[in-house]
Structure 1
Amino acid sequence: MDTKPMNTKPTAEEKNETLRLLMNHRSIRRYLPDRVAEEELEAIVRAGQMASTSSGVQAFSVIAVENPDTKRTLAELCGNQAYIEECPLFLVWCADMHRLEAAGQFAGGESVRAARNTEQFLIATVDAALAAQNAAVAAESLGLGIVYIGGVRNRIAEVGELLGLPELVYPVFGMCVGRPAQDPLTRPRLPLGAVLHRERYDDSRYDEKIAEYDAVYRRYMEERSQGQSAASWSEAMATKIPVPSRTHLLAYLESQGFRFE
């Protein structure tokens, strides 16, 4: 029986297919063996290209990996994440200042060098992230599923060598892509009031909103783990945030030509 009140206006999500798609995002870690068609791959990457980019620099590249042996090696380098090997398509999203330096030298000669400072590093990293999220939405609109893989930074130098990354390029994250072979729960997000600030930053309600989220998150974890875990979000963060992670990244990034100044 439909219990929706009469004369109630539909929500923005109910009226908008794009919003419904965005709100239904889930990380997919099991895939059917079906290959992602070339036209789908190209459409996904073109959608990524249409993301906003600082001053038109487009400081990112994406490497599509389908070779089983390469995926197997990447799975090992990323922390033995089996779904990298199992997915039909693995995309490695890279921040890329190398192409910009090549463009500058094409127009102005070999003496033109990229600034290589912190701002350039951030521009390239943000460009890669924006493009990847556009691509993720495009993939989901085609009935595909994705999961981001930060594990490419676990053994980042070996990943870079495997993929032949030149100076001024680094892998920001990977992305498994394929047709879903699972129907996972949607992970709940923080209450809007914990994220949306009005006019200026306000943390006065954080305790209230975190407690509210913890209750929702515990139920999610209990259902997801079939009763094996009921950890709250704040408990998970209390365990996670004190531990420095991937402390080798600075040395690798500097070896790739980035300077943090």
Structure 2
Amino acid sequence: MNPILQAQTNHKSIRQYTQQPIDDALLKQLIQAAQGAASSSFIQAYSLIQVSNKDNRQKMAALAGGQKWVESAAEFLVICADLTRVEHCSIEQGLGELEGNTEHFIAATTDATFFAQNLMLGAESVGLGAVFIGGIRNDPAQVADILNLPKHVYPIFGLCLGYPDAQPDLKPRLPVDVILHKDSYDSRRCADDVKAYDTQMQAYYQSRGDNQKTSNWSEQTAAAVQKKKREHMLSFLQQQGFLKR
């Protein structure tokens, strides 16, 4: 297996970090490399905010539900979908202001996500650990206020980066045959696929050296989705100029 495939396969969310800082030149190199990600029509509709201020880190850790690694990581970056430059181009070219189209929201969100995944993979390739922080969407308005985000920008998630101080167990992913459908979607498989994966994940949770628990994938997934609806997101996004049409 080549190094890139190995790195992709071995990804783990790292939440414990040493005190070693990340060299500024390395961080910029990782960001530049991450910019090689695919972009919808090459609009590059993303920006990231490097949060170095300790008070702001503390606030964001609290907003994210008390995730202390937001404070302890060497770097905390907030990845944003950003259509400000796109709107500037549209106005300059005589095509008018953006109108909050859903398609533009999707393009900006996927652009930023491709970039962020590239950034994480690059960081892991040089020995860094990372974890995405979706918890900043618990109160995106406060995050936007802290970061002074203008209209047409919204924070998708945060990213902790640092040198790992612990290595968690590798979680088994869904089997390829579960997520791969040939020619058409086969919904008849769903119940059996989930049941088999639940058995696998329950065994994994019970075999872990640390943080053992009696659970399975269904329980974890249902709770993660149904207890984190974040119904404030639509009004916040519309306030920021997204999802109006």
- TM-score higher than 0.5: yes
Calculate percent identity across the aligned residue pairs.
Answer: 40
Deviation string 1:197-247 (CA, Å, 9 cap, x unpaired) is 111111222222222211221122123375751211112234444446111
Q: How much does 1:144 deviate?
A: 0.3
Q: For 2:109 and 2:17, how far apart are their aligned partners in 1?
A: 28
SS at match of 2:13: coil
Q: For 1:171 and 1:214, how far apart are their aligned partners in 2?
A: 33
Q: Which of residues 75, 81, 84 is equivalent to 1:98? A: 84
- Please, what is the CA RMSD of the aligned residues? 1.7
State which structure, 1 or 2, has the greater radius of gyration over its C-alpha atoms: 1
Q: For 2:109 and 2:150, how far apart are their aligned partners in 1?
A: 16
2:57 alignment counterpart: 71
What residue identity is the alignment partner of 2:105? Answer: F
- Structure number with the bigger relative contact order (C-alpha 8 A, sep ≥ 6) is 2
What residue identity is the alignment partner of 1:91? Answer: L
1:7 alignment counterpart: none
1:204 alignment counterpart: 188
Aligned residues: 245
Matched, 1:256 2:240: yes
2:109 alignment counterpart: 125
Matched, 1:43 2:17: no
TM-score under structure 1 length normalisation = 0.88
Deviation string 1:57-104 (CA, Å, 9 cap, x unpaired) is 000101111222221121112111100000010010000011211233
Q: Which of residues 83, 93, 118 is equivalent to 1:108? A: 93
Check 1:146–1:227 CA distance in 2 against 1; reply closer, same or farther (3 A cut). closer
Check 1:157–1:199 CA distance in 2 against 1; reply closer, same or farther (3 A cut). same
- Alpha carbons 1:152, 1:174 under 8 Å: kept: yes
Structure 1: stretches of 5+ with no match in the other structure: 1-13
Q: For 2:237 and 2:225, how far apart are their aligned partners in 1?
A: 22
TM-score under structure 2 length normalisation = 0.94
Q: For 1:152 and 1:33, how far apart are their aligned partners in 2?
A: 23
Matches within 5 A, 1:17-56: 17-56=3-42
1:176 alignment counterpart: 160
Q: For 2:172 and 2:210, how far apart are their aligned partners in 1?
A: 17
Q: Which of residues 121, 131, 134 is equivalent to 1:137? A: 121
What residue identity is the alignment partner of 1:89? Answer: E
Q: How much does 1:119 deviate?
A: 0.6
